[in-house]
Structure 1
Amino acid sequence: MKGNAVAIVTGASQGIGRATALRLARDFSAVVLTARNEEELQRTAAAVESAGAEPLVCKLDLRKPQAAEVLVKNTLDRFGRIDALLNIAGAVPQTDLFEMTDAQWDDGMALKLHGARRLTILAWDALKASTGSVVLISGSAALDPKPAFAAVATINAAIIALAKAFAEQGIKDGVQVNSVIPGAVMTGRRESFFKKWAPAHNLTIDEAMKKFPEEAGIARFGKPEEIADLMAFLVSPSAKWMTGASVRMDGGETKGI
């Protein structure tokens, strides 16, 4: 695919976003990287360049309405096209349903849902021109909502619905849109969670990391690189007829059909 193909990856400073940016560097000539952490973005950019693609770093907070416009403009000014958009940014607070404030709900939705919505709309004309692809990232909580993860589940379910709506329009406009539903992936954010969660439950870090997969009914945590491989497939020529799909990759955590 290399040619002069350009991909935008949000949340590219860490975790699944960084892994996806590095994976796409094999297939795209340029990878545009955005997140809020400049230092980590520069680390990702160096790795992308080493992998053979030209990076463009755009430090932005996609919770802010104008950020998406800046990102699309910077991309088109530099490369003149957008072939793939991977909406990965968005940490949602894991707070009990009865304890979450309106501000926490709004913050969770501002980045993962509204940030992805605005960016996809603003990039749409360029994606039409390139018959490009969009991926939005959801999460397995959407399929099994619990009170302790109410915001995560609600926002992730909304992401799946949003991707479906975009995909319907994409059939008319020649833009492919899918969503990915990852399960428990071991990222830096999850490691930080266990460092706080384990002592509160009188467990060591190792005990906690063993207990969680067992309770979730999975053999192990996923790796960011595994989700990145799936992302790369979805925006590749091999998956071009696949649109409107919600692809689950969770090690068997979701037990329903």
Structure 2
Amino acid sequence: MTRSVAIVTGASSGIGRATAVRLARDFGAIAIAARSAEKLDEVGREIEAAGAEPLVLDLVLAEAASADTLVSRTLDRFGRIDALVNVAGAVAGLDLFEMTDTQWDAGMALKFHGARRLTIRAWDALKQTRGSVVFMSGNAAVIPKPGAAAVGTINAAIEALAKTFAERGIADGVQVNSISPGAIMTGRRLSMIEKAAASRKIALDDARRQVLDQACITRFGEAGEVAELIAFTVSPPARWMTGTVLRMDGGEVKSV
């Protein structure tokens, strides 16, 4: 029986890790990529436990050669690509007036150009399987935050990029969407809250509550919830949905 194959980037932690493990229930093989070899090995074991075969690749996706390496190794091992989920892309949350050109370039290199190059490199394989691509943006794309200037700007660019790929995908038979999570409780989110608590000299629970109050939501989301949305998005019942931004944010975005 032919196995379906998914690639998940940023798979060593957070949403990427949860997505890789969740998709292992639906796909026969999962290629995972990130910068942490030790953490990736742990995820690989979770994928095996869920019933799929893992391909673990320690890569820096900000480097141009990584896209070719990831796609080539996946095709050499499994012979096909049915889904590509672009999660990699932590962007520095720095003030608009403080960010240097180097910091801007670093954010673009990983989250925007990394995903762009990888999608282009995988496109022919995705055409053959009539596969699916998911990009990861975030609410900062539509909620301006001067203290996280690059986050919002790059997320907005990702959403525009996804729509452009989706337009091409209509003719090529490739489904493309983007997922925009709100305040998801990942290790990175917790670290940000801990730093805020320390700088403001308040308790951790108070810092958590401030984040929720500012977003006008009642709780943080979980990485597993986003993973379930991604699993649905690349599934056959969602096939006619393309060029769409799917927001999972507890109601943080209020605009129509």
Shorter-chain TM range is over 0.9
Equivalence for 2:219: 220
Task: Report 1:34-53 matches (<5 A).
Answer: 34-53=33-52
Q: How many residues align?
A: 256
Name the residue aligned to 2:23.
24
After TM superposition, the score normalised by the length of structure 2 is 0.99
Could you tell me which residue of structure 2 aligns to residue 164 of structure 1?
163
| 1:153 corresponds to | 152
> How far apart, CA to CA, are the structure 2 residues paired with 1:213 and 1:144?
15
Unpaired runs of at least 5, structure 2 = none
Give the CA deviation at 1:214. 1.6
SS in structure 2 at match of 1:251: coil
Distance 1:234 1:221 in 2: 22
Aligned partner of 2:233 in structure 1 is: 234
Question: d(CA) in 2 for partners of 1:48 and 1:106?
Answer: 33
Alignment map for 1:1-257 (pairs within 5 Å): 3-257=2-256
Stretches of 4+ aligned residues off by more than 3 angstroms: none
Deviation at 1:241, TM superposition (A): 0.4
C-alpha distance in 2, partners of 1:175/1:207?
45
Q: Deviations over 1:94-124 (max 9, x none)?
A: 0000000000000000000000000000000
Q: What's the CA shift for 1:3?
A: 4.8
Amino acid at match of 1:201: R
The whole-number CA distance in structure 2 between the counterparts of 1:124 and 1:215 is 40
Q: What are the Cα deviations for residues 167-217 of structure 1, in whole angstroms up to 9, with x where unaligned? A: 000000000000001000000011111111111112111111122112210
The 1-side partners of 2:233 and 2:194 are apart by 34
**CA deviations over 1:63-122 (Å, ceiling 9, x no partner):** 000000000000000000000000000000000000000000000000000000000000
Secondary structure class of the residue paired with 1:248: strand
Question: 1:6, 1:31 within 8 Å by CA — same for their partners in 2?
Answer: yes
**DSSP 3-state at the match of 2:250:** coil
Using structure 1 for the length normalisation, give the TM-score: 0.98
Amino acid at match of 1:14: S
Give the whole-Å Cα distance in 1 for the aligned partners of 2:45 and 2:129.
Answer: 27
- The one-letter amino acid of 2:86's match is N
Partner SS state of residue 160, structure 1: helix
Question: Would the aligned equivalents of 1:3 and 1:28 in 2 still touch at CA under 8 Å?
Answer: no
Q: Which amino acid aligns with 1:164?
A: K
- The residue type paired with residue 139 of structure 2 is S
Q: Distance in 2 between matches of 1:57 and 1:202?
A: 41
Partner letter of residue 25 of structure 1?
A: A
Structure 2 CA distance for aligned equivalents of residues 52 and 210 of structure 1: 39
Give, in whole Å, the separation in 1 of the partners of 2:208 and 2:10.
24
Question: Deviation string for 1:33-90 (max 9, x for gaps)?
Answer: 0000000000100001001000000110000000000000000000000000000000
1:121-175 superposed Cα distances (whole Å, 9 cap, x missing partner): 0000000000000000000000111211110000000000000000000000000
Give the alignment's Cα RMSD to 1 decimal: 0.8
